[in-house]
Amino acid sequence: MSRPDLDRVSEQAIDWMVALRAATPNQALLQRLQMWLQQHPAHQQAWQRLEQRLGYSFATLHRLEQRAPGQAAEARRLLLQPTRSRREMLGAMASLGLFGSALWGGWRSDTAQGWLADLHTGRGERRSFTLADGSRLSLNSASAVDVQFDGGQRLLLLRHGELLIQVARDPQRPLRVRTAQGYVQALGTRFLVSQEANATRVVVLQHSVRVSLVDGQWAELQQGQAALLHNHGIERLSGEQLQRAAWLDGRLEVLDQPLRAVVEALRPYQRGYIRLAPAARDLRVQGVFPLDQPQQALSALAEALPITVERYGPWLTLIDRKTSQ
């Protein structure tokens, strides 16, 4: 496979990302990055494309998984591991066939693909829709859904992001949601589905649903219950999950979750790239935070946890654990 041609600015953006991911960045590196970002709008645009590709959204990898099972997980591992050089990063992508029409330059970002979906939301946006059957569908930030309704079925394809649906009754056409891991079929009225990096999260808000995997495994979930759908199994979740629907009202409600989960929930609302240091990822968090003000949420986290939050313009936020004096 021949190496793809990248424009000079995109190559520079990769170089900067490699430098940030290789180790804890020092002040001099951050200052040079800030100067580069401010030199030209094209630099900021290239950086945004790259952080969107590597930062939080992997719908393209889910499509890769459907074509070649097992490759998506390997691609994600290679893209996110610390990298010593741009050549290594490009080589890892090329080795898995991630270049060409599917990705860079090229690369159609998940955000761009979202605009091609039947229903979608942008970064920091939430929307609600009334479907043709009268069902009420709400999408969280950076989400995309295709709608396939006809005389024989009601099917929603969740490309990426998170949805919450109040299902209209139709005994002849049960409503189903398709994700990368399987299906969620409404047996009642109201439930939440989230496409995560390697699993589908389902939370039943009213009545019940049936979840199933492509290999035939299935389970029923009752009101208040939740599960993660993995490629090879269904994991029932203990503990409170209903608070995950608080995004409808612009809130992030956290009950004893790791900081990495909180940061992932804030990413679709935060402009720029967030780098969470490994030492801080497992700190436990509890509280209520404003989704529409992610910087305020991060400041509140810094007050409650032994972490530092450093901002370098709108393009980069570094979160690390405080060092003992």
Would the CATH topology of 117-242 be identical to that of 250-321?
Answer: no
* Rounded to 5°, angle at Cα 30 from 27 and 34: 140
Read off φ and ψ for residue 34, nearest 5 degrees: -60, -40
pLDDT in tens, 172-217: 999 999 999 999 999 878 999 999 988 999 999 999 999 999 888 9
User: Across all residues in the chain, what is the average pLDDT?
Assistant: 79
Cα–Cα dist 14/90, whole Å: 9
Which two structure tokens, joined as six digits, stand for 46?
């290239």
Query: What architecture is domain 250-321?
Result: 3-Layer(bab) Sandwich (3.55)
Beta strands in 167-243 (DSSP E): 175-178, 182-186, 190-195, 200-206, 208-213, 218-222, 226-230, 233-237
Cα–Cα dist 97/1, whole Å: 9
pLDDT in tens, 112-142: 455 568 899 988 899 999 999 999 999 999 8
Query: What is 117-242's CATH number, 2.60.120.1440, 3.40.50.10490, 1.10.3720.10, 3.40.718.10?
Result: 2.60.120.1440
Higher pLDDT, residue 53 or 145: 145
Q: What pLDDT was estimated at residue 266?
A: 93
**DSSP calls for 19-81:** HHHHSPPPHHHHHHHHHHHHH-HHHHHHHHHHHHHHHT--HHHHHHHHHSTTHHHHHHHHHHS
**DSSP calls for 138-188:** EE-TT-EEEEEE-SS-EEEEEEEEEEEEEPPP-TTS-EEEE-SSEEEEESS
Can you give the residue ranges of every domain in the chain? 8-112, 117-242, 250-321
pLDDT in tens, 65-115: 444 444 444 444 444 444 445 555 555 544 444 443 333 333 334 544 555
